[in-house]
Amino acid sequence: AQSVTQLGSHVSVSEGALVLLRCNYSSSVPPYLFWYVQYPNQGLQLLLKYTSAATLVKGINGFEAEFKKSETSFHLTKPSAHMSDAAEYFCAVGTQGGSEKLVFGKGTKLTVNP
Amino acid sequence: DTAVSQTPKYLVTQMGNDKSIKCEQNLGHDTMYWYKQDSKKFLKIMFSYNNKELIINETVPNRFSPKSPDKAHLNLHINSLELGDSAVYFCASSHRGGGANTGELFFGEGSRLTVL
């Protein structure tokens, strides 16, 4: 069975500061990994995904994530936070080879302070 | 054009009632999903259909019945609504066939169900 753990349900940063949102996964087979963002009263939108190509993945809005197999981690970073980054962020794991199911973490709410 | 659209966006109803939520996608995807997001933002899959065929059913009470009339539509009907059914229900779609399935989901904006 697959699972995702997001460390920290709330993260608060100052505008211009580094954003680091943590995600650890558990999977018995090579995983696909995703970060989604949810703005208030909206659906989820894909930020970036890892599908066994490059371990450093760049996404939209200046976000990137690094797949570290030895640490079973897929942490999301952005060098400089912007007010518009305030949202809920979800890490998700899927299975290579045809599984239709994504398992989501419990989410991390990012607050950006002026 | 909205890629994945759900109606209604808000639904307030009494316990015991029956209600439906509709979902349509114009992305040409062959797989559609229903996810439930609870008050703590936890997102859990309920159902998945591929080309109108049910492929995932995650221990959801049988009061919940999905229906897929064609691969662009996936509706969710809920009988005898309970307080615990209050949540935001998200429809999503993805493309399964034609190469590696990367599992990228495209979500609708959600339907907020409140059961009183």
Cα dihedral value B58, B60, B64, B66, nearest 10 = 10
Residue A106: closest C-alpha in chain B: B42
Residue B68 pLDDT:
93
The count of C-alpha atoms lying within 13 angstroms of the C-alpha of B33, restricted to the half-sphere facing its C-beta, is: 26
Spatial distance between the Cα atoms of A32 and A49, rounded to a whole number of angstroms: 7
Spatial distance between the Cα atoms of B8 and B17, rounded to a whole number of angstroms: 16
Q: Give the helix/strand (H/E) hosting B100.
A: none
Chain A interface test: which of B36, B42, B43, B45 (most A C-beta within 10 Å): B43
Percent of all residues in chain A with a pLDDT value above 90, rounded to a whole number: 71
CB contact under 8 A, A51 and B42: no
Cα dihedral value B15, B16, B18, B21, nearest 10 = 30
More confident residue, B13 or A42: B13
Interface of B with A in 14-73 (CB under 8 A): 31, 33, 40-45, 48, 50, 55-56
Question: Does residue A65 contact residue A76 with C-beta atoms inside 8 Å?
Answer: yes
Spatial distance between the Cα atoms of A29 and A103, rounded to a whole number of angstroms: 14
Residue B97 pLDDT:
56
Q: Are strands A73-78 and B10-13 parallel, antiparallel or unpaired?
A: unpaired
Name which of A34, A38, A100 is nearest B56 (Cβ-Cβ).
Answer: A100
Interface of A with B in 63-92 (CB under 8 A): 88, 90
Task: Report pLDDT digits (tens) over B56-90.
Answer: 888 789 999 999 999 899 999 999 999 999 999 99
CB contact under 8 A, B41 and A107: yes
CA distance B96 to chain A (A): 8
Task: Report pLDDT digits (tens) over B10-44.
Answer: 999 999 999 999 999 999 988 899 999 999 889 99
CB contact under 8 A, A96 and B100: yes
Q: Cβ of B108 under 8 Å from any chain A Cβ?
A: yes
In the block, tokens 């993945």 appear at A57
Spatial distance between the Cα atoms of A22 and A2, rounded to a whole number of angstroms: 17
Question: Does residue B56 contact residue A100 with C-beta atoms inside 8 Å?
Answer: yes
CB contact under 8 A, B104 and A42: no
Strands of A64-68's sheet in order across: A3-7, A19-26, A73-78, A64-68, A56-58
Residues paired with residue A83 on neighbouring β-strands, in sequence order? none
Spatial distance between the Cα atoms of A89 and A2, rounded to a whole number of angstroms: 19
Tokens at residue A15, please? 């505008």
In this structure, of A18-32, B15-29, B34-48, B88-102, the range with the lowest mean pLDDT score is B88-102
Name which of B48, B92, B109 is nearest A42 (Cβ-Cβ).
Answer: B109
